[in-house]
């Protein structure tokens, strides 16, 4: 079952439920929680989780994202999910979906899409017109 959310709904810290780590309101060194596309209730996000495009990330209720996780692609996280430390989720325009009650192990790398590498240049910074 996928997490239900309203398209385009911005995360609201005041009404989204607690985002506490047991010792007060959480902080993050790399992004503003309010920029997330959706933030569920009872979510714990480590201070050193890096989300490059928070406006493309949906996080469901009762979810934990451990420190040193790096996310640079579209991500939809269901309910009761644990993304362990040092997880890397990359892939440009790809999308990663964690269904309810799922998780990833420490150090896991998920690549959602890649360049073709046939007949052209390959690198995220190269404009499409120069790619094969």
Q: CB within 8 A of 11, min separation 6: which ones?
A: 33, 34, 35, 36, 37, 38, 39
Contact of 112 with 91, CB cutoff 8 Å: yes
pTM, entire model: 0.74
Contact 83, 104 (CB under 8 A): yes
Q: What is the pLDDT of residue 25?
A: 65
pLDDT digits (tens, 9 = 90+) for 68-126: 999 999 999 999 999 999 999 998 889 999 999 999 999 999 999 877 667 667 677 77
Do 111 and 132 touch, CB atoms closer than 8 A? no
CA 37 to each of CA 15, 41, 114: distance values in angstroms, whole numbers, following the listed order:
14, 14, 24
């Amino acid at each position: 079952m996928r997490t239900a959310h309203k398209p385009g709904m911005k995360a609201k810290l005041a009404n989204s439920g607690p985002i506490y780590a047991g010792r007060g309101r959480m902080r993050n060194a790399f992004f503003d929680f309010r920029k997330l596309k959706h933030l569920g209730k009872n979510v714990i996000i480590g201070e050193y989780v890096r989300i490059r495009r928070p406006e493309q990330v949906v996080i469901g209720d009762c979810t934990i994202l451990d420190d040193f996780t790096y996310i640079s692609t579209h991500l939809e996280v269901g309910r009761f999910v644990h993304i362990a430390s040092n997880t890397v989720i990359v892939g440009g325009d790809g999308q990663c979906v964690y269904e309810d009650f799922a998780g990833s192990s420490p150090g896991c790398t998920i690549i959602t899409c890649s360049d073709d590498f046939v007949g052209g240049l390959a690198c995220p910074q190269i404009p499409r017109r120069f790619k094969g």
